Structure 1
Amino acid sequence: MVTSVLPLTLYQANTVRVGERAAAKSVQVSMYTLMERAGAAVFECLKKMPCSVNSILICCGGGNNGGDGYIVACLAVAAGIDVEVWHLGDANQLTGDAARARDTWLAAKGLIGTPQTELPAGVDVVIDALLGTGLSGMVRDDASELINTINQAHKSVIAVDVPSGLCADTGRILGCAIQADSTVTFIGVKQGLVTGQAPNVVGKLFFAGLGVGEIFDDQQQASATSLTDEIIPALLSQRKRTAHKGDHGRVTCFGGNLGMAGAIRLAAEACLRTGSGLTAVVTQPDNVMSIVAARPEIMVQGWQEKAHEIRQQRDWSDVIVLGPGLGTNDWGKALYFHLADCEKKMVVDADGLNLLALSPDYKNNRIITPHPGEAARLLACNIAEIEADRFLAVQRLQQKYGGVAVLKGAGTLVFDGVCLTVCRAGNPGMATGGMGDVLSGIIGSLLGQNLSLSDAAMLGVFIHSKAADLCALEGERGMIASDLFPYIRQLVNSR
């Protein structure tokens, strides 16, 4: 059965390749039977396409991914659909189960053609069974030409297991990739399907366990897990009827240099909307009136580089959020270094991260929340290296800086040194100024409500992205960071 409800567990491609054999052996199912089930799963997805499907093109490659394509061809012909098959390379070179599937297609009087520069006239859907999970280097020229031909035709595309050209482990596009409308992945969800550049090419992701998915999960170690709605009631308990503001954390947000009052105000209000008992701001004196006028519940203090005032505020705080609108001039640097040795729980973002990159240290009381550009500065590399393997990047961040690392982006990653989680919520409407400041405030508030660093980071990331998805029901374009506040409040009260 094919489902859009995905398992929580994510795997590296090689784990699935090795583990599927062990799982099949456990239930005495042949690998060819799994291939037949995979083809049937893709065909089931094809039948559910919203468009009318009278004619399809199936593009097969070497290996089992091509074999899956030949199974789909047999099923489609039997259902009365017009089928054309193109094989990239020499179909006679197929071996094992893939060769058996090819021969089944030939026995059904099917034909095998070679790729052309244009798709056949009248094709409704293309099935991508070209490269699969075994791709390790850049896409070769012949495959690249076919991928570009398919993409330029603007037809509906279903990808088998992974879109051809996408790295199943990293989410990196290896030169070029099929732009699928749907992807049907098998047995275990490959981790590269949910982050990096994958959201641009995967389309709607479906899963088929092929009858061995649960056994596979029991036998194999996941590389990461996905965050879901269940995390909210699991980590946010019902408050006691006798609760008072001191029970829910005192959080101070430090930042807001000249011209950047909005950043620190967004962080502080997000903190309040997530349930902080008391929220304060330390900022440039010129910002005080505008923040108080907009949100009088925030306690705002202007700071002019008096060390004792920072010590007093630091001592008062349970949690510190450092960085939104901080700047890197003398005022920002002074504020940062007054807090750099603080032992209180901290969230460091924005210019706090840029200053941390200049003076790296390792602390276990801290959550860092970089976007790819900030991550590149923290790791002294370039953005392309970060995006080439986001899983590796977030682990390197945590290993270098300690605590918990959050690598923002499509498929935000959270790593605490042991567990790696992925947030599949979120949407392009979040690509606007102030969103990161809101995330910092959410996480700071959760730390103040006595969540661990790891739990606060995971829950904060999920609430932030889920709130944006609820907000996007009214449209992604034009969403601004403060639009999330009512949805944040709604989510932290959900059960």
Structure 2
Amino acid sequence: MSELPDALYTPEQVRALDRRAIEDHGIPGGVLMARAGRATWRLIRQRFPDARRVMVLCGGGNNGGDGYVIARLAADAGLAVDLCPFADPAGLSGDARRAANEALARVPSAAFSPERLAETDLVVDALLGTGLDRPVSGAMADAIGAVNASHCRVVAVDVPSGLSARTGQVMGIAVRAALTPTFIGLKQGLFTGEAADCIGEVVFDDLQVPAAVHDGMEPSARLLGAEALEAGLPRRPRTAHKGAFGHVLVIGGDLGMGGAVRIAGEAAARSGAGLTSVVTRPAHVAALLAARPELMVHGVEAGSGLAALLARADVLAVGPGLGQAEWGRALFEAVRDGDRPLVVDADGLNWLAQAPTRRDDWVLTPHPGEAARLLDTDIAEIDRDRFAAVTAIARQYGGVAVLKGAGTLISDGLCCRVCTEGNPGMASGGMGDALTGLIAGLRAQGFDTLASACLGVQAHARAADRAALDGERGLLAGDLLNALRSVVNP
């Protein structure tokens, strides 16, 4: 994905920006449409110079108008063009109608058929824009299915048709594009949820609108840029000592789950924490010390055994392998109401969902299932709007919420941050434990709650991307830990 601005907007905000450009800055809508079409056409020639036959699928509205501009430009360049309207051009209005008339004067329309795809080098998707609010159906759904099945290269104009530009959810079926040029403002739904399977490479073009168009428009979310780790993790003073970088205490690892706290503890240490301790079942102590002797490991059989350890720690990480038995409940209750900053994951979140409380100094790191329990709903509802879900968790429980998944979201209840790094190899056990320890380790080093969550999420994802250079399938949390040291030393 090419370097992008960090500001993200809802579809409604982008339409407002478009109106500002037209009404407040005197840029005609037809000029913006022509610029969008030309920008897309330039990208097509750059990315797909071998394309000789192009199929352009045009819907109604301005998105379809962009498609008509592209069809005309392709024909003017001497390419064979199949121009397939999915809305009667005579029913269009304004700029879209004028763009359609100009294109159809140069290129005759053609009925879409899957058979045409066999002779097509490139498909331009200009079917549906940012206003989609219901599942795609009928002829458009059939066409999208045929395009996806054909394995043709696809350029999606502004947003892949069928993908919600607000939430990143696929609305029934969505185009799977190789390239998505998008305009005026980045749409938040392009960067989370199911979008990763649809967008391909995203390229942004502001269509030369003045920067003042954005004045007073607060972004709905922000991307974590590639440079955030470099800016956030400076070189250490040459006089540094371990006492300057905090003490993390990881709590969890019921019987049979000692590996979870080992991973979390090592991640905290690899993040740069000065000291890392682990509380687990006594049966796990010897194995953890043998595997990672830098950890200080304590066997505890009841919550009452925590007091002295809690007093020495700066930050607590609770939940990895904690379990849903009485042992885990007692440990969670012993730390929940204390005075140390917390990172809560896994069964710590499940215990929290059963007895909700609020704190301002913790980071909660749910996956969609845990998020559903925290909000007393189901996973489908979480996936319908990940932005709304992570914001609701942060506002209800306080602190910072991290909703894991493709396009991980971080929210303090005011604004979301979005991490687009990471890969499908992270879908394996122990990855969440590593993130928990990593965030706790950064928090112990003096980063505030939001910064430790953002830096931790990004470092976690980037380490996984480096570890996945040998392949995504079979990637283990331990592989991520091996890559983490270079990531946190940018």
Say whether the 8 Å CA contact 2:250–2:261 is kept in structure 1. yes
What does residue 334 of structure 2 align with? 338
Change (3 A) 1:121 1:237: closer
Residue of 395, 398, 401 corresponding to 1:399: 395
Amino acid at match of 1:94: L
Match of 1:39 among 37, 40, 56: 37
Quote the offset at 1:484 in angstroms.
Answer: 1.5
Shift of residue 240, structure 1, vs aligned partner: 2.4
1:177 is matched with 174
Alpha-carbon separation, structure 1, partners of 2:281 and 2:273: 23
What residue is the counterpart of 2:162 in the other structure?
A: 165
Task: Tell me if 1:455 matches 2:451.
Answer: yes
Task: Give the aligned partner of residue 411 of structure 2.
Answer: 415
Take 1:152 and 1:216, find their aligned partners in 2: how far apart are those partners?
40
User: After the TM superposition, which residues 45-194 of structure 1 pair with which residues of structure 2 at under 5 Å, given as runs?
Assistant: 45-50=43-48, 52-108=50-106, 110-194=107-191
2:380 pairs with 1:384: yes
Name 2:281's counterpart in structure 1: 284
Select which of 201, 209, 223 maps to 2:198: 201
Contact 1:19–1:219 (Cα < 8 Å) also in 2: no
Specify which of 255, 258, 267 is matched with residue 255 of structure 2. Answer: 258
Q: 1:357 aligns with which of 353, 359, 378?
A: 353
Distance 1:219 1:84, change over 3 A: farther
Quick one: which amino acid aligns to residue 463 of structure 1? A
Shift of 1:283: 0.2
- Contact 2:117–2:147 at 8 Å: present in 1 too? no
In the alignment, structure 2 segments of 5+ residues that lack a partner are none
Contact 2:367 2:404 in 1 (8 A): yes
Residue identity opposite 1:171 in structure 2: G
Q: 1:306 to 1:394 in 2, by over 3 A?
A: closer
Letter in 1 for 2:71: A
**1:429-440 correspondence to structure 2 within 5 Å:** 429-440=425-436
The equivalent of 2:264 in structure 1 is 267
Q: Verify: 1:483 aligned to 2:471, yes or no.
A: no
Question: Is residue 17–residue 184 contact of structure 2 (8 Å, CA) maintained in 1?
Answer: no
Amino acid at match of 1:305: A
Number of residue pairs aligned between Structure 1 and Structure 2: 490
Compute the displacement of 1:119 (Å): 2.8
Identity %: 47
CA distance in 2, matches of 1:106, 1:51: 24
**Separation of aligned partners in 1, 2:63 and 2:199:** 16
Counterpart of 2:27 (choices 22, 26, 29) is 29
> Which 5+ residue runs of structure 1 have no aligned equivalent?
none
CA deviations 1:358-413 (Å, max 9, x no partner) are 11111112110000011011111110100000000001111111111000000000
Q: Which amino acid in 2 is paired with 1:18?
A: A
Matched position secondary structure for 1:362:
coil
Kept in 2, the 8 Å contact 1:228–1:462? The answer is no
| More off after superposition, 291-300 vs 172-181 | 172-181
**What is the DSSP-based 3-state SS (H/G/I as helix, E as strand, rest coil) of the residue aligned with 1:83?**
strand
2:216 and 2:386 map into 1 onto residues whose CA distance is 26
Query: Which amino acid is the alignment partner of residue 324 of structure 1?
Result: P
Residue from 474, 483, 495 that aligns with 2:470: 474
Pick aligned residue for 2:5 from 7, 10, 13: 7
Q: Distance in 2 between matches of 1:317 and 1:467?
A: 27
Map Cα deviations across residues 251-276 of structure 1 (whole Å, 9 max, x no partner): 10000111111110000000000100
How far is 1:116 from its partner?
Answer: 2.7
Give how far 1:417 is off: 2.0
Provide the C-alpha distance between the structure 2 equivalents of 1:43 and 1:267, rounded to a whole number of angstroms.
48
Alpha-carbon distance in 2 for matches of 1:154, 1:181: 10
Secondary structure of the residue that 1:59 maps to in structure 2?
A: strand
Evaluate the alpha carbon distance shift between residue 413 and residue 119 of structure 1 in structure 2; reply closer, same or farther with a 3 A threshold.
same
Q: Secondary structure at the match of 1:84?
A: strand
Tell me: CA distance 1:300–1:411, structure 2 relative to 1, closer, same or farther (3 Å): same
With structure 1 as the length reference, what TM-score do the two structures score?
A: 0.96
| DSSP 3-state at the match of 1:354 | helix
Give, in whole Å, the separation in 2 of the partners of 1:239 and 1:120.
57
User: How many Å separate the matches in 1 of 2:117 and 2:341?
Assistant: 61
| Alignment-mate amino acid for residue 431 of structure 1 | A
State the one-letter code of the partner of 2:430: G
* 2:234 counterpart of 1:237: yes
